[in-house]
Protein backbone atom coordinates (compact mmCIF):
# COMPACT_ATOMS: atom_id res chain seq x y z
CA UNK A 1 0.00 0.00 0.00
CA UNK A 2 1.29 3.47 -0.83
CA UNK A 3 2.17 6.17 1.65
CA UNK A 4 -0.41 8.94 2.03
CA UNK A 5 -0.08 12.70 2.16
CA UNK A 6 -0.87 13.78 5.74
CA UNK A 7 -0.17 17.51 5.76
CA UNK A 8 0.40 20.42 3.41
CA UNK A 9 1.67 23.97 3.91
CA UNK A 10 1.06 27.17 2.01
CA UNK A 11 3.45 30.12 2.43
CA UNK A 12 1.67 33.49 2.16
CA UNK A 13 2.41 37.21 2.34
CA UNK A 14 -1.05 38.28 3.60
CA UNK A 15 -2.60 35.63 5.85
CA UNK A 16 -5.88 37.48 6.34
CA UNK A 17 -6.45 37.87 2.59
CA UNK A 18 -5.39 34.29 1.81
CA UNK A 19 -7.45 32.68 4.59
CA UNK A 20 -10.49 34.53 3.21
CA UNK A 21 -9.61 33.39 -0.33
CA UNK A 22 -9.26 29.69 0.59
CA UNK A 23 -12.13 29.84 3.09
CA UNK A 24 -14.55 31.36 0.57
CA UNK A 25 -13.37 29.18 -2.30
CA UNK A 26 -13.12 25.78 -0.57
CA UNK A 27 -14.86 26.21 2.81
CA UNK A 28 -11.59 25.68 4.73
CA UNK A 29 -11.40 26.86 8.35
CA UNK A 30 -8.32 28.54 9.85
CA UNK A 31 -7.02 28.60 13.44
CA UNK A 32 -4.14 30.99 14.17
CA UNK A 33 -1.47 29.59 16.49
CA UNK A 34 2.03 30.49 17.57
CA UNK A 35 4.51 27.76 16.74
CA UNK A 36 8.09 28.31 17.76
CA UNK A 37 7.75 32.10 17.78
CA UNK A 38 6.12 32.16 14.32
CA UNK A 39 2.48 32.75 13.47
CA UNK A 40 1.01 29.62 11.91
CA UNK A 41 -2.56 28.97 10.82
CA UNK A 42 -3.82 25.40 11.07
CA UNK A 43 -6.14 24.57 8.18
CA UNK A 44 -9.14 22.26 8.47
CA UNK A 45 -10.08 21.19 4.96
CA UNK A 46 -13.21 19.11 5.62
CA UNK A 47 -15.32 21.86 7.19
CA UNK A 48 -16.81 19.28 9.58
CA UNK A 49 -14.28 19.44 12.40
CA UNK A 50 -12.44 16.45 10.92
CA UNK A 51 -8.88 16.36 9.71
CA UNK A 52 -8.91 14.08 6.68
CA UNK A 53 -6.06 16.17 5.28
CA UNK A 54 -4.78 18.89 7.59
CA UNK A 55 -2.78 21.82 6.42
CA UNK A 56 -1.02 24.91 7.58
CA UNK A 57 -0.33 28.41 6.36
CA UNK A 58 2.65 30.50 7.44
CA UNK A 59 4.38 33.78 6.54
CA UNK A 60 6.38 33.41 3.34
CA UNK A 61 10.11 33.25 4.14
CA UNK A 62 11.41 34.24 0.70
CA UNK A 63 10.54 34.48 -2.98
CA UNK A 64 11.41 30.85 -3.62
CA UNK A 65 9.17 29.58 -0.78
CA UNK A 66 6.48 27.34 -2.37
CA UNK A 67 3.67 25.07 -1.13
CA UNK A 68 4.85 21.74 0.22
CA UNK A 69 3.35 18.46 1.30
CA UNK A 70 4.32 15.83 3.86
CA UNK A 71 4.16 12.06 3.36
CA UNK A 72 3.39 9.74 6.28
CA UNK A 73 6.25 7.31 7.00
CA UNK A 74 6.66 4.61 9.64
CA UNK A 75 10.31 5.34 10.40
CA UNK A 76 11.62 8.80 9.54
CA UNK A 77 15.28 7.81 9.80
CA UNK A 78 15.09 4.86 7.40
CA UNK A 79 12.86 6.78 4.98
CA UNK A 80 15.30 9.70 5.01
CA UNK A 81 18.06 7.28 4.01
CA UNK A 82 15.83 5.81 1.27
CA UNK A 83 14.98 9.34 0.10
CA UNK A 84 18.66 10.20 -0.28
CA UNK A 85 19.47 6.88 -2.01
CA UNK A 86 16.67 7.52 -4.51
CA UNK A 87 18.23 10.86 -5.50
CA UNK A 88 16.55 13.27 -3.07
CA UNK A 89 18.44 15.89 -1.08
CA UNK A 90 17.68 16.84 2.53
CA UNK A 91 17.28 20.60 2.99
CA UNK A 92 15.97 20.57 6.58
CA UNK A 93 17.24 17.84 8.89
CA UNK A 94 14.98 15.85 11.20
CA UNK A 95 13.18 18.06 13.67
CA UNK A 96 10.54 17.44 16.28
CA UNK A 97 7.04 18.82 15.78
CA UNK A 98 6.07 18.95 19.48
CA UNK A 99 3.07 16.78 20.26
CA UNK A 100 2.77 15.51 16.69
CA UNK A 101 5.97 13.74 15.58
CA UNK A 102 9.07 14.39 13.48
CA UNK A 103 9.63 15.86 10.04
CA UNK A 104 12.37 16.08 7.43
CA UNK A 105 12.17 18.39 4.40
CA UNK A 106 13.93 17.59 1.17
CA UNK A 107 13.85 18.13 -2.56
CA UNK A 108 13.21 15.49 -5.16
CA UNK A 109 15.65 15.10 -8.08
CA UNK A 110 13.87 17.97 -9.92
CA UNK A 111 13.94 20.38 -6.96
CA UNK A 112 10.35 20.00 -5.70
CA UNK A 113 9.90 20.20 -1.92
CA UNK A 114 8.84 16.96 -0.27
CA UNK A 115 8.35 16.46 3.46
CA UNK A 116 8.57 13.20 5.35
CA UNK A 117 6.53 12.94 8.54
CA UNK A 118 6.48 10.32 11.31
CA UNK A 119 3.60 10.69 13.74
CA UNK A 120 3.85 10.01 17.47
CA UNK A 121 0.20 8.97 17.39
CA UNK A 122 -0.81 5.48 16.33
CA UNK A 123 -1.98 5.31 12.73
CA UNK A 124 -5.67 4.68 12.17
CA UNK A 125 -6.22 1.59 10.04
CA UNK A 126 -6.85 2.20 6.36
CA UNK A 127 -10.42 1.56 5.26
CA UNK A 128 -10.62 -1.37 2.92
CA UNK A 129 -13.58 -2.63 0.94
CA UNK A 130 -14.02 -5.34 3.62
CA UNK A 131 -14.08 -2.69 6.38
CA UNK A 132 -16.66 -0.69 4.41
CA UNK A 133 -18.85 -3.80 3.94
CA UNK A 134 -18.70 -4.60 7.68
CA UNK A 135 -19.50 -1.00 8.55
CA UNK A 136 -22.44 -1.03 6.13
CA UNK A 137 -23.75 -4.34 7.59
CA UNK A 138 -23.44 -2.98 11.15
CA UNK A 139 -25.50 0.10 10.22
CA UNK A 140 -28.20 -2.09 8.61
CA UNK A 141 -28.27 -4.31 11.71
CA UNK A 142 -28.73 -1.30 14.01
CA UNK A 143 -31.57 0.03 11.82
CA UNK A 144 -33.38 -3.32 11.85
CA UNK A 145 -33.08 -3.56 15.67
CA UNK A 146 -34.60 -0.06 16.02
CA UNK A 147 -37.53 -1.16 13.86
CA UNK A 148 -38.21 -4.13 16.19
CA UNK A 149 -38.60 -2.02 19.36
CATH number at residue 53: 3.10.180.10
CA distance 79 to 65: 24
Q: How confident is the model at residue 136 (pLDDT cuts 50, 70, 90)?
A: very low
Q: Which of 68, 47, 56, 48 is nearest to 18 (CA)?
A: 56
- Over range 54-68, report the average pLDDT: 91
pLDDT at 53: 82
Asked if the model's pLDDT at residue 149 lies above 50, the reply is no
Distance of CA 144 to the CA centre of its chain: 38
- Which residues lie below 8 Å from residue 29, measured CB to CB, with a gap of 6+? 23, 43, 44, 47
pTM here is: 0.69
Helix (H) or strand (E) holding 113: strand 113-119
Read off the pLDDT of each residue in 78-96 and give the average, rounded to a whole number: 96
With a cut of 60, say whether residue 126 has pLDDT above it.
Answer: no
What's the whole-number average pLDDT of the chain? 82
Boundaries of domain holding 111: 5-148
CB burial of 5-33 (b: ≥16 within 10 Å; e: otherwise) equals ebbbbbbbeebeebbeebeeeeebbbeee
Is pLDDT of 83 > 60? yes
Domain count of the fold of the chain: 1
Residue ranges of alpha helices (H) inside the chain are: 15-26, 76-85, 129-148
**Secondary structure letter of residue 112 according to DSSP:** -
Q: Return the bridge partners of 121, or none.
A: none
- Which of 3-12, 24-33, 76-85, 120-129 shows the lowest per-residue confidence on average (mean pLDDT)? 120-129
Whether 84 contacts 37, CB under 8 Å: no
Amino acid sequence: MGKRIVHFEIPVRDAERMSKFYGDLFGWKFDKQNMGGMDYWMIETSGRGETDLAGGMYPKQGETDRPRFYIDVDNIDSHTDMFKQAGGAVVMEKQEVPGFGWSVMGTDPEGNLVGLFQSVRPQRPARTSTTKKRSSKAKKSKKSKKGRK
